Chain A
């Protein structure tokens, strides 16, 4: 079980929920579970082939998953997964 921190721009689609517990054992599985619980998130997180959009920055703890095993990065009970939004506006 890992905890996902939902960034502010996505909370509109999670009934303002800021964190969520998931049972997935990889980043991909955890994010898929998140999108299953909140289906409106799907289009924002996944491309048409079901892959997490390549420009979305995801961190496991303090590490960007691009420097780990990407979406296949394993997560455990105490892992914190963070989705980080782009820097917007001026």
Chain B
């Protein structure tokens, strides 16, 4: 690839060197959670990459595209609002390539997330716990407006490089790993990048695949990372025409599935991974036969408060 002189080529080289550690996650067969032998469920174990969550993919692609466009270079600070995982992915990459980073997140983020972000050298700006991630977005935008030269505002909710990370990579990995046998793709909506990008990519590769998006059942929920679109700020990258069906998942179902998956599959899941598994099981139980693929964004490592409540 020819790199334009306006681009910080030394920084770009560092970003490229991280590529082998992004994506290419294993596809895990869920064997003991359904009774239908004619349906197979697979889950991408997304915590098995740099930064420990699915957010490694969009974070790396957002940074890569920003360096390529000249918007991010040595001397600029990476800025974004996040519920935690994207911030951890950004901070991991930023530490490796040597750029400063400012993360805006609600003050009720778990202690584990705040400790990890601080350990990685991120500057944290905490916003009101009452305004959720929407409030953090507003603050991040205000910081950018106050000092536009200081920051590259990544804006993961509107950045095309978010969903394109999944469009270009996750979808192709799934097709390859299932030997093109996938019939249904199921995933929850947060920034919506995972669902929109993976679905767009898979649909182009095989138009017969069905796409099922998942949302929390109620406005208040315990599925950290998910958005109840009816009552939240809808991300600009969301496309209402992608999903064939939208299912609602309750926090209670997800918490019960955390228990079941630990005993039956040996996986200690995060609430959002468990909620994706609930959705995949519901889809599997509605089919005569098929191959259902879902995403496990992260494992339970950063959710000690939830796990303590579930396993008490």
Which positions in A face B, CB cutoff 8 Å?
5, 7-10, 12-13, 43-45, 47, 53-57, 82-90
Across the interface, name the chain B residue whose C-beta is closest to A13. B219
A17 to chain B, nearest CB (A): 13
**One of B22-30, B67-75, B168-176, B221-229 at the interface:** B221-229
**One of B1-9, B38-46, B82-90, B93-101 at the interface:** B82-90
Q: Are B220 and A85 in contact (CB-based, < 8 A)?
A: yes
Which positions in B face A, CB cutoff 8 Å?
55, 58, 82-86, 105-106, 108-109, 129-135, 156-157, 190-191, 193, 218-228, 230-232, 235, 251-252, 255, 309
Q: Are A90 and B83 in contact (CB-based, < 8 A)?
A: yes
B238 to chain A, nearest CB (A): 10
Q: Are B157 and A90 in contact (CB-based, < 8 A)?
A: yes
Q: Are B219 and A44 in contact (CB-based, < 8 A)?
A: yes
Q: Are A90 and B108 in contact (CB-based, < 8 A)?
A: no
Q: Are B191 and A83 in contact (CB-based, < 8 A)?
A: no
Known: A9-B132, A82-B130. A87 touches B105 (CB 8 A): yes
A13, A56, A86, A90 interface centre (most CB from chain B within 10 Å): A90
Known: A8-B131, A90-B191. A83 touches B220 (CB 8 A): yes
User: B225 to chain A: which residues have CB within 8 Å?
Assistant: 87-90
Q: Are B220 and A10 in contact (CB-based, < 8 A)?
A: yes
Known: A9-B231, A12-B231, A44-B219. A86 touches B131 (CB 8 A): no
Known: A44-B220, A55-B255. A88 touches B108 (CB 8 A): no
User: Which secondary structure dominates chain B's binding surface?
Assistant: loop
A23 to chain B, nearest CB (A): 23
User: B226 to chain A: which residues have CB within 8 Å?
Assistant: 86, 88-89
User: B255 to chain A: which residues have CB within 8 Å?
Assistant: 55
Known: A55-B251, A55-B255, A83-B220. A9 touches B135 (CB 8 A): no
A55, A56, A84 interface centre (most CB from chain B within 10 Å): A55
Across the interface, name the chain A residue whose C-beta is closest to B191. A90
B143 to chain A, nearest CB (A): 17
B233 to chain A, nearest CB (A): 9
Which residue of the partner chain, among A43, A55, A89, contacts B232 with CB atoms under 8 Å? Answer: A89
Across the interface, name the chain A residue whose C-beta is closest to B109. A87
B221 to chain A, nearest CB (A): 5
Q: Are A89 and B190 in contact (CB-based, < 8 A)?
A: yes
Which residue of the partner chain, among B109, B156, B220, B221, contacts A90 with CB atoms under 8 Å? Answer: B156
User: A55 to chain B: which residues have CB within 8 Å?
Assistant: 220-222, 251, 255, 309
In Å, the complex CA distance between A90 and B272 comes to 11
Q: Could you show 12 A-B contacts with beta carbons less than 8 Å apart?
A: A8-B130, A10-B220, A43-B218, A44-B218, A55-B251, A57-B108, A83-B220, A85-B219, A87-B84, A87-B108, A88-B132, A90-B82
A49 to chain B, nearest CB (A): 12
Across the interface, name the chain B residue whose C-beta is closest to A59. B129
